[in-house]
Structure 1
Amino acid sequence: MVTTSPERFAALTDAAIALIAELGMRGLTHRAVDARAGLPAGTASAYLRTRKALVEAVVRRLADLDTADLAARGVPTGPVGAPPDLEQLSVGFAGLLDDWLTAGRARTLARYACLLEATHHPELRPILAYGVAMRTQARVLLAAAGAPDAERRGSHLVAAVDGLLFDRLAGAGSLAAPPPGTPESRADLTAAIRGLLRAALAD
Structure 2
Amino acid sequence: MRTNTERRTALVDAAIELLAELGARGLTLRAVDARAAVPVGTTSNYFANRDALLVQAGARVYQRLQPEDPALARRIAKARGREAYTVVMREVVSRIAEFRTGFLALLELRLEATRRPGLRALLTERVRADLDANVAYHEASGLPGDATGVRLLYLALNWLIVDQLTLPDLFSAGERDELVAEAVTRIMAG
**Does TM, scored on the shorter chain, surpass 0.5?**
yes
In the TM superposition, structure 1's runs of 4+ consecutive aligned residues that sit over 6 Å from their partners are none
| TM-score normalised according to structure 2 size | 0.84
CA distance in 2: counterparts of 1:166 and 1:114, whole angstroms: 14
The answer to whether structure 1 residue 94 and structure 2 residue 113 are counterparts is: no
1:189 aligned residue: 176
Match of 1:202, SS state, is coil
1:46 aligned residue: 45
Change (3 A) 1:188 1:75: farther
1:106 aligned residue: 101
Give the C-alpha shift of residue 77 in structure 1.
10
Q: Decide whether the 8 Å contact of 1:161 with 1:193 is kept in 2.
A: yes
Change (3 A) 1:48 1:88: farther
Match of 2:48, SS state, is coil
Give the C-alpha shift of residue 39 in structure 1.
1.1
Change (3 A) 1:134 1:115: same
| TM-score normalised according to structure 1 size | 0.79
Corresponding letter in the other structure for 1:136: D
Percent identity over the alignment?
30
Residues 162-185 of structure 1 deviation map (CA, whole Å, 9 limit, x = unaligned): 1111122225xx33311xxxxxx1
Give the C-alpha shift of residue 155 in structure 1.
2.0
* Count of paired positions: 188
Moved more, 129-138 or 10-19: 129-138
CA distance in 1: counterparts of 2:136 and 2:9, whole angstroms: 30
Give the C-alpha shift of residue 44 in structure 1.
1.2
Gaps of 5+ in 2: none
Residues 102-146 of structure 1 deviation map (CA, whole Å, 9 limit, x = unaligned): x42111211100001111333421132222233123213321234
